Structure 1
Amino acid sequence: MSTFFGPLDSDGRVPARQQTRVASFLVSAHGALGRRFALALPLRLESAWQTELNAQFYNESEIVSLLLRATHWTPDLALGYLAAAWETAWFPAAADGIPDQSLAFAVDLATLAHAIHAGIRPAALLPVEANANDPFAMALRRVEFESGRLLQAQIMFLKGESLLPFRDAVSAALERRHAEVRKLWREMLESIDISGDENGVKP
C-alpha cells in the first residue's frame, strides 16, 4: 500500500479512480459544511460573527465547485454506500454539556469544520513527480490552502469568551469530531490502496 497517489500516468496525473474517490469525499465533507453554514445564516446580517459565517458559506461552496470541475471523474460503484456513510457522519449533533441548544449546535458545526479543515491534508498525497499544472493537483493544493485559512475562524469561535464556561464540553466535542473525520478519511484512502497513517491525515 502506497503513501501517495499513483501510479501516475505518463503525464504525471493522478489515476481517475483515485481522483473520483478522494474528490467525492471532499465534496461530501465541504458540501455538508456549506449546507449547514447556509442554514445558520439569517436573512439579514446584524453582527460581525454573522459576516464571518457568510464568508465561510461561500468559501465552502467555492471548494465544492472547484473539485467538481477539476476532477477527472470515472464511474465508481462503491460511492453509493460510501457517500451514505459519509453524509450520515456530518449530521448535526448538539454538543453534550451545553444547555443552550443553539449554542450546542453552533459548537458542533465549528468542531466539525475544525476537524475537516485541520485533519485532512489532501495535497500531502501528491508525489513530488505529480504534474504541478494538472487541475486536480492544483485543486487539492487550493483546498488545503483554503482549509488552513478557514480554520482560524473555528479556532477563534471555539476559544471565545462565550464558551469559556463549557471548555470541557467543547474539548470533548472537538475530540469526537476529529476521531470521526480521521476514521472516515483513513478508510476511504485505504479503499484506493493509500495508507492514511503517514500522509493526508493529521494525528
Structure 2
Amino acid sequence: MSGFLGPLESDGRIPPHQQTRVAAFLISAHGALARQSALTVPATLESGWQTELNTQLFRETEIVSLLIRATSWAPDPGLGYMAVGWESAWYPAPVHDIPDWPLAMAAGLATLAHAVHAAIRPAALLPTAANPDDPFVMALRHIEFESGRMLQTQIIVLKSSTLQPHRDAINSALERRHREVRKLWHDMLRSVGIAVDGSNDGQP
C-alpha cells in the first residue's frame, strides 16, 4: 500500500474508482457543512463572526459543485453503506453546555468545520507524477487551498468574545470532532488502498 492515490493511469490521471470514493467522502462532508451553515446563519446578521458563517456557506457549496463536475465517476457498490456512516457522523451536534440554543448550534457547526478543514488534506494524497491538467487533481488542490482559508474562519468564530465564556465546553467538543473526522477519513483512505498511520486516530 502507498500513501498516495494510484497507481496512476497511463495519462497520469487518478483511477476513477479512487476518484469516486474520495470525492463522495468530500461531498458528504462539505455538503453537510453547507446545509448546516444555511440553517445556522440568521436572516439578519447581528455579530461579526456570523459574517464568517455566511462566507462559509458559499465556499462549501462551491466545493461540492466543483467535485461533482471534476470527478470521473465509477460504479461503487460499497459506497452507499459507507455514506450512511459518514452522514450520521456529520449530524448537527450543538455544544450542550451553552444555554443559548442558536449559539450552541453555531458553535457545534464551527467545531465540525474546524475538524473537516484541519484533518482532511486531499492534495497531500497526490503523487508527484499526477497529471496537473486532470480536473480531479486540480480540484483537490483547490479544496485544500480553500480549506486553509476557511480554517481561519473557524478560528475567528471559535475565539469570538461571544463564545469565550464557554471555552472548556468548546475545546471538548472540538477534540471529539477531530477524532471522529480523522478516523472516518483514514478508514475511507484505507478502503481505496492508501496506507495511513492511524496510531493517533483515537487521540485529539
| TM-score bracket, shorter-length normalisation | over 0.9
Contact 1:190 1:196 in 2 (8 A): yes
Give the Cα–Cα distance (whole angstroms) in 1 for the partners of residues 71 and 48 of structure 2. Answer: 35
Per the alignment, do residues 158 and 50 of structure 1 end up closer, same or farther by CA in structure 2, a change over 3 Å counting?
Answer: closer
Give the distance between the partners of 2:44 and 2:170, measured in 1 at CA. Answer: 28
| Pairwise CA distance, 1:46 | 5.0
* Structure 2 equivalent of residue 155 of structure 1: 155
| Contact preservation (8 Å) 2:33, 2:60 | yes
Q: Which amino acid aligns with 1:90?
A: W
SS at 2:72 equivalent: coil
Structure 1: unaligned runs, 5 residues or longer = none
Query: Would you say the 8 A contact 2:4–2:126 is kept in 1?
Result: yes
Report the equivalent of 2:6: 6
| Identity of matched residues, % | 64
| C-alpha separation in 2, matches of 1:161 and 1:48 | 10
Which residue identity lines up with residue 91 of structure 2 in the other structure?
F
Corresponding residue SS for 1:161: coil
Q: Secondary structure at the match of 1:162?
A: coil
C-alpha deviation, 1:101, in angstroms: 2.0
Judge conservation of contact 1:185–1:196 (CA < 8 Å) in 2.
no
Asked whether the equivalents of residues 49 and 160 of structure 2 are also in contact (C-alpha less than 8 Å), the reply is: no
Shift of 1:161: 1.6
Q: Establish whether residue 55 from structure 1 lines up as the match of residue 48 from structure 2.
A: no
Q: Distance in 2 between matches of 1:54 and 1:164?
A: 21
Equivalent pair of 2:38/2:57 in contact (CA under 8 Å):
yes
Alpha carbons 1:13, 1:131 under 8 Å: kept: yes
The runs of 5 or more residues in structure 2 that have no matched partner are none
2:26 corresponds in structure 1 to: 26
Q: Please state how far the C-alpha of 1:164 moved relative to its aligned partner.
A: 1.8
**CA–CA separation in structure 1 for the residues paired with 2:137 and 2:62:** 16
Q: Alpha-carbon deviation of 1:197?
A: 2.2
Give CA deviations for 1:94-124 in whole Å, capped at 9, x if unaligned. Answer: 2132222222211110000000011100000
Aligned amino acid, residue 95 of structure 1: V
Instruction: Work out the number of aligned pairs and report it.
Output: 200
Quick one: distance in 1 between partners of 2:193 and 2:92?
A: 31
Specify the alignment match of 2:64 in structure 1: 64
Tell me the alpha carbon deviations over residues 51-109 of structure 1, each in whole angstroms, 9 at most, x when there is no partner: 32222111100000000000000010111111110000000112132222222211110
Q: Is the 1:30–1:61 Cα contact (8 Å) retained in structure 2?
A: yes
Compared with structure 1, are the counterparts of its residues 161 and 43 closer, same or farther at alpha carbon in structure 2 (3 Å cutoff)? closer
Show the counterpart of 1:187. 187
Alignment map for 1:94-173 (pairs within 5 Å): 94-173=94-173
Q: Tell me the SS of whatever aligns to 2:174.
A: helix
Rounded to whole Å, the distance in 1 between the matches of 2:3 and 2:66 is 24
Q: Closer, same or farther in 2 for the Cα pair 1:160/1:45, shift >3 Å?
A: closer
Q: Is the Cα–Cα contact under 8 Å of residues 5 and 127 in structure 2 kept in the other structure? A: yes
User: In the TM superposition, what is the alpha-carbon distance from 1:45 to its structure 2 partner?
Assistant: 4.2
So what's the TM-score if we normalise by structure 1?
Answer: 0.93
Taking structure 2 as the reference length, the TM-score comes to 0.93
**Contact 1:96–1:173 at 8 Å: present in 2 too?**
no
Question: Aligned equivalents of 1:51 and 1:94: distance in 2?
Answer: 19
